[in-house]
Structure 1
Amino acid sequence: MFQITPVVRNLLIVNIALFFLDRSFDLSSTFALRSFLSPEYRPFQYVSYMFLHSTSSFGHVLSNMFGLLIFGPLLERIWGPKRFLFFYFFTGIGAGLLFSVINYFELAQIRDGLAVYLDHPNPQAFIDFLSSHAEFYYKSQSAFINSFEASPTNPQLIAQSREMAKAVYQFNVDIPMVGASGAIYGILMAFGMLFPNTELFLLFVPFPIKAKYFVGFYGLYSLYSGFQNAPNDNVAHFAHLGGMLFAFILLKYWNSSRQKFF
C-alpha cells in the first residue's frame, strides 16, 4: 500500500477533479498556457496549466498522477509539505517558462517563413512553407496545390494560398500547453539525484534499473524528441526538460546552502 502524504493527496484530488471539470466547462480555453504571441496569453497560466490535462483521454492525467503517486510521497516525507509544494510549483513554472522561450523561437521561424512567402507567393514557395511548418496540413492540400501549380499566376489562388499560410501560423500560435508533466519530471529528477542507486522495477522491463539511469534515459529521450519535432507529436518535450533542469538547479542551490535533504 502507498502511504500517500497530504500534499500529494491534495494534488491528486485537484488534478483529477479539474480533469473532469475541464471536460464539462472547457477550462483549458482560459487556463491552458498560451504562447507569448497569442492574444490569449496571461501570466497566471504558468500556474493554471499545471492542473489541466488533455481531455481527449484519461491517459494523460493518469500517467502524470501515477508518477506523482510513486515518487512524490517519499520526497514530501524527506522535505516536509511546504518545501515539497514549493519544489512542485518551482519546477512546474520553470517547465512552462522554458517551453515558452523555445516556443517563441519556433514561432519566430514560422513567422519569418510566412513573411517571405507573402512577399513572393508561388506554388513552390507554398509547398516549401507547408512542408517545413505544417506537414500534416500539406498532405491534405494536394488538390489545391495541383491547381496552384497549374495556374501559378491566378490571383484568386494566390490570395487563397496567402490566407492558408496565415492560418498555419495562427494555428501554431494558438496551440495551448497543459499538464503536470514538467513538475512530475522535476520530481523524477529529484528522486534520481537523491537516490541514484535505488533500483526500480518497471513494467515490460525484465530487470531492475537504477534511478540515475532511468532519469538519464528520460532526459535524453526528451531532448532527442524535442529536437526531432516529429509530425503529430503533441508532447511538450522541452517542458519535460524544463522541469528536470529547474529541479537540478533548485537541488544544487539547496545543497550549496547546506539545508538538509534528509
Structure 2
Amino acid sequence: MMRISDTVKHLIIINVIFFIGTVTVGGGEAFYEWFALHFPASDGFKPWQIVTHMFMHGSIGHIFFNMFALWMFGSPVEYRLGRNKFLFIYFSAGLGAALFQLAGYYWDYLPAYNQLLEAGFSKEVISDIINFNILEGRQFKGALLQEQIIPYMDEHNISSLLSDSTFKTFFETNVLINNSTMVGASGCIMGILAAFGMMNPNAELMMIFLPIPIKAKYFIPGIIILDVISAVTGQSFFSPSNTAYLAHVGGALVGFFIMWYWKKNQFNQNRWDR
C-alpha cells in the first residue's frame, strides 16, 4: 500500500476541518453561506467561494469517497510530479470544473434573463426579485414569491409588466439561482484522476459497484463519457442526482490537457516529470 503523500494528507485535513465546520457551525447553514460557490447573480456570491467551495462537502458519503479517491490517486501523482505541479493540476482542475458547471447554469439562466429584460424589467429589478427568499423548508413556493413580488411591483410602479409568463420566469429563475450552489472536491479529483491515467494507462482500476478490473486508459474515459451523458440527459448512473456532472467533465479535461502539454514537452524546460 502506497504511503500517503504530504500534500494529499494536508488537503484531506483541510477538507475534514471544513466538513466539521459545516456540520457544527450555524446549524449547518453558516459554512454553506460563506464558503459554498453561489451562482454569480446571487446575493450570496463572494469571490473567495471560487476556491473555498473545493473544500466543502454535503454529506459524510460525499467527503469519504472524494477523500478516498484523493488518497488513492493523488499520492502517486504527487510522488511522480512533485508538490508544486500536483497542486497546479489540483486547483486548475477545480477552477475548470467550476467554470464548466457555471457555463451550464448560464445556458439556462441567460435566455430567461434576456426574456425579462425584453419584457421591460431593469437589471436592478431582476436582480432583486430573483434573490427573494421563496424557500420554505426544502421547497420553493410560488405563493412566497407572489407575497413579495406584488408589493414590490407596486412600490416601483411596474405592476403593468407582471403577467403569468413573467411571474413564471421569475419563479424559475429564482429557483435556478438558489439551487445552483456548488460544493465538493470532485472537479479537482477528476483532474488528478486524468493525470494518473495518463501516467499509468495500463493500471487496472475497479468501481465499488462494478468489481471488474479495467485498465485506466479505458476506465477513466468511460467515467467521463458517463458524466457527459448524465449532464445532457439528467440520467444518473453511479452518482446522486444532484451531482455537478459538468464539473466532473471540466476537471477531467483540464487535468488531461495539462498532462498532455507537459508530456508533449517532456524533453524541454516544461517537461512534466521534473
Q: TM-score, normalised by structure 1?
A: 0.77
The residue type paired with residue 243 of structure 1 is: G
Aligned match for 1:236, one of 244, 247, 251: 244
Deviation at 1:103, TM superposition (A): 1.4
Task: Measure the CA separation in 2 of the matches of 1:207 and 1:245.
Answer: 25
Match of 1:131 in 2: none
The residue type paired with residue 171 of structure 1 is: V
Does residue 217 in structure 1 map to residue 222 in structure 2?
A: yes
- Is residue 37–residue 50 contact of structure 2 (8 Å, CA) maintained in 1? yes
Deviation at 1:27, TM superposition (A): 1.1
CA-to-aligned-CA distance 1:52-95 (integer Å, 9 cap, x gap): 011xx311111111110111100010011121112111111111
Match of 2:254 in 1: 246
The residue type paired with residue 78 of structure 1 is: R
Does residue 73 in structure 1 map to residue 75 in structure 2?
A: yes
Task: Measure the CA separation in 2 of the matches of 1:167 and 1:30.
Answer: 24
The residue type paired with residue 252 of structure 2 is: M
Distance 1:228 1:201, change over 3 A: closer
Aligned match for 2:34, one of 27, 30, 37: 30
Task: Measure the CA separation in 1 of the matches of 2:35 and 2:206.
Answer: 36
Task: Measure the CA separation in 1 of the matches of 2:210 and 2:173.
Answer: 42
The residue type paired with residue 247 of structure 2 is: A
Distance 1:235 1:113, change over 3 A: farther
Paired residues for 1:41-52 under 5 Å = 41-52=45-56
CA-to-aligned-CA distance 1:129-158 (integer Å, 9 cap, x gap): xxxxxxxx89x99xxxxxxxxxxxxxxxx9
Task: Measure the CA separation in 1 of the matches of 2:96 and 2:117.
Answer: 32
Task: Measure the CA separation in 2 of the matches of 1:39 and 1:224.
Answer: 32
Distance 1:76 1:23, change over 3 A: same
Distance 1:165 1:184, change over 3 A: same
Task: Measure the CA separation in 2 of the matches of 1:236 and 1:205.
Answer: 22
Does residue 85 in structure 1 map to residue 95 in structure 2?
A: no
Paired residues for 1:176-215 under 5 Å = 176-215=181-220
Q: Secondary structure at the match of 1:4?
A: coil
Aligned match for 1:172, one of 170, 173, 176: 176
- Is residue 33–residue 46 contact of structure 1 (8 Å, CA) maintained in 2? yes
Task: Measure the CA separation in 2 of the matches of 1:161 and 1:24.
Answer: 42
Task: Measure the CA separation in 1 of the matches of 2:8 and 2:255.
Answer: 17
CA-to-aligned-CA distance 1:136-185 (integer Å, 9 cap, x gap): x89x99xxxxxxxxxxxxxxxx9688545423211211221010000011
Q: Secondary structure at the match of 1:178?
A: coil
Task: Measure the CA separation in 2 of the matches of 1:230 and 1:198.
Answer: 29
Task: Measure the CA separation in 2 of the matches of 1:198 and 1:256.
Answer: 21
Distance 1:88 1:172, change over 3 A: same
Match of 1:261 in 2: 273
Which structure 1 segments of 5+ residues have no match?
120-136, 142-157
Match of 1:15 in 2: 15
Identity %: 35
Distance 1:163 1:190, change over 3 A: same
Instruction: Give me the CA root mean square deviation.
Output: 3.1
Q: Secondary structure at the match of 1:208?
A: strand
Distance 1:18 1:116, change over 3 A: same
CA-to-aligned-CA distance 1:113-144 (integer Å, 9 cap, x gap): 6679999xxxxxxxxxxxxxxxxx89x99xxx
The residue type paired with residue 228 of structure 1 is: T
